[in-house]
Amino acid sequence: MPRTRSGVGTGSRGENPSKRGSKLDLFRFVPFRLNRLAAEVSAALSGEYQERYGLDIPEWRVLATLGFRNDACSAQYIAHCTRTHKSTISRAVTALMKRRLVERLENEDDRREFQLRMTRKGKALYHELIPRLLRKEQEILSCLSAQERKDFALLLGKVEKGLGLVQTRKEASKTEAY
């Protein structure tokens, strides 16, 4: 299959892939590959918090987002930040509140909206879990050399920037809308 400058296949015999009869090679299609990779990495990490701490992926995403920030935030912010449906985040927040890991604070500016923050118990769990997740991240990336890890991070950053995603803690802290 001919390759474009980006390394993505263009279809058989250099045809325009949008022509009738063309087939998409999923194993060369970057969105498919990224989605599959993200799902596998997420599943590998979930083993670190699911068995020992009883957290599912959406619950972890709520805790991770709250732990990343220095102040409370809305469930809407968490849903947008993590690209998780708001109903999934809502269920996760309810479960975390039942376990007293997260609490709601009334928004002083808009009494219809609540802000969320971790409780002391939630913060303790979060801080206990971080070293385990960082070790797991290193294990996942161990197939890459140090230079490849730097290159990979740089390339991910370029794609994120190209999509207009926030890339730093400072940028994420500037806005509630993310």
Number of domains into which the chain is organized = 1
| pLDDT exceeds cutoff 60 at 9 | no
Q: Residue 175's pLDDT is what? A: 58
The gap from C-alpha 136 to its chain's centroid, in whole angstroms, comes to 15
The phi, psi pair for 78, rounded to 5°, reads -65, -45
8 in any annotated domain: no
Q: How many residues are present in the chain?
A: 178
Alpha carbon distance 41, 145 (integer Å): 18
18 in any annotated domain: no
| pLDDT exceeds cutoff 90 at 93 | yes
Residue range 36-49, pLDDT digits in tens: 999 999 999 999 89
Whether 100 contacts 113, CB under 8 Å: no
Whether 118 contacts 126, CB under 8 Å: yes
| pLDDT exceeds cutoff 50 at 4 | no
Q: Residue 112's pLDDT is what? A: 79
96 in any annotated domain: yes
Q: Residue 18's pLDDT is what? A: 60
The CATH number of residue 85's host domain is 1.10.10.10
102 in any annotated domain: yes
51 in any annotated domain: yes
Q: Residue 5's pLDDT is what? A: 45
* Mean pLDDT of all residues in 93-116: 90
Question: Which domain covers residue 84, as residue numbers?
Answer: 28-174
| pLDDT exceeds cutoff 50 at 12 | no
12 in any annotated domain: no
* Mean pLDDT of all residues in 121-147: 96
Task: Report the chain's mean pLDDT, rounded to a whole number.
Answer: 86
**pTM: predicted TM-score of the whole model, two decimal places:** 0.79
| pLDDT exceeds cutoff 60 at 10 | no
9 in any annotated domain: no
